[in-house]
Amino acid sequence: MSETKEVDYSLNNPDTLTKYKTAAQISEKVLAAVSDLCVPGAKIVEICQQGDKLIEEELAKVYRGKKITKGFSHPTTVSPSSYVTPYTPLTTDESEASIEIKEGEPIKIQLGAQIDGFGSIVCNTIVVTEKDKAAEPITGRTADLILANHYVNEVLLRLMVPPGLLAQGTDEEKAKAAAQKAPTQSKITSLLEKVCDAYECKLVESTTSWLFDRNEIEGSKKIVLAPAEGTKGEGVPEVGEVWGVETGVSLGSGKVKTLDQRSTLHRRTNQTYQLKRPTSRKILSEVQKKFGTFPFSLRQLEDERDAKAGVVECVRNNVFRQYELVGDKDNAPVARLLTTLAITKNGITKLGAAPELDLSKFQTDKKITDEEILKILEQPLARNTGKKKSKPKKKAAKADGATEEAANAEE
């Protein structure tokens, strides 16, 4: 009878956090590997294929023998300099398959794994350089762009902490801090615009952070930065939630345009429709089996040519949602970051994130001087519980096997 009990999929269930963390460890490990593949002259489609292969290999190592779904929460995407949205070209399109990475351009890498429907998605922006020039500092407007996005992300993460959660002092002082209202989304945008102003950059319009849930990466709450007309966010972050927090910064106006290229990234909706074409029904069945309701690339389907034909009917009847390719309106370079985080009683726990930025590598004469922003940056993301500082070297040494250990702990 116990098997029929409703399973608690919230963060109150330790298994949920373990699955999120295991998926995040895989995402971070593959992100690092894919970053190493991004060198001048490398073909984007081949990097995406290799990234997907690595995710599958890492997933095969965890929760072995368990009846638990494992897969992608996001395919490997590599977006060129001025692209805003994730880009994943097809092998059967000659012009797309030939696109190569260029020296000095900021490349956005986004990917993710999921275990039992608990997905972690990560995105990082790297500046592509030849291996022998990797130690050279990055200067000029590229440095401004990367630093602006870094600090926009740091401020936004701190604004995700519910008011009073980390307050110290007397009970009265804690109660006063907890009584404060969370910043409105317009206030969040105005604060982040101050960071961008310091580096003469702009927020990318309508950059959206979403509440995550089981089998869902676009939940009931969202935070929209620099919203375009007709768009707005809804809801505030709360303890017990998992979010995908995204930032985007441009060296141009921050306005975006739809690119004249095929949409190759899709996601199944909850809409049902009696599809008429055999190819449409075939790829719907494959998507349901392999990806559930998580995003997928047409490149990941068994027959790419069938996928290109069959997806048309699926999109037209809202069985699949199509992610339009969007770029900077001025064709200016864009940087993005995406962090999957959990909000616990102790603050923000980064589940999956880009590696820490080596600030010494980026040289600019610009800096943040706004007192309000500097004060926010001084705030901690989480309460120091004193648990993580005892054996840092041992943990670092085990990083590669962490996913397997997590699975063994479950077993």
Contact indicator for 344, 267 with CB cutoff of 8 Å = no
Strands (E), 33-166: 70-79, 106-115, 118-127
Whole-model pTM above 0.75? yes
Residue 231 CA: distances (Å) to CA of 234, 314, 337: 10, 26, 21
What is 14-258+335-378's CATH topology? Answer: Creatine Amidinohydrolase (3.90.230)
Q: What is the distance between the alpha carbons of residues 82 and 67, in angstroms, rounded to a whole number? A: 42
Q: What is the distance between the alpha carbons of residues 77 and 108, in angstroms, rounded to a whole number? A: 8
Q: What is the distance between the alpha carbons of residues 306 and 310, in angstroms, rounded to a whole number? A: 6
CB atoms within 10 A of CB 28: 24
Q: What is the distance between the alpha carbons of residues 242 and 175, in angstroms, rounded to a whole number? A: 25
pLDDT averaged over every residue in the chain? 91
Q: What is the distance between the alpha carbons of residues 157 and 161, in angstroms, rounded to a whole number? A: 7
Q: What is the distance between the alpha carbons of residues 23 and 18, in angstroms, rounded to a whole number? A: 9
Ranges of residues in the chain with a pLDDT under 70 are: 1-4, 385-411
The residues, ordered by sequence, that sit 6+ positions from 105 with a Cβ below 8 Å of its Cβ are 80, 81, 127, 128, 333
Residue type (1 letter), 53: K
Residue 338 CA: distances (Å) to CA of 56, 73, 244, 248, 315: 21, 13, 7, 9, 26
DSSP 8-state code for residue 282:
H
DSSP 8-state code for residue 179:
T
- pLDDT for 285 equals 96
Domain residue spans of the chain: 14-258+335-378, 264-323
Q: What is the distance between the alpha carbons of residues 331 and 333, in angstroms, rounded to a whole number? A: 7
Strands (E), 160-218: 202-203, 207-212
> Which uninterrupted H or E stretch holds 248?
strand 242-250
Contact indicator for 350, 339 with CB cutoff of 8 Å = yes
37-74 burial, b for 16+ CB within 10 Å, e for fewer?
bbbeebbbbebbbbbbebbbebbeebbeeeeeebbbbb
CATH class, 264-323 region: mainly alpha
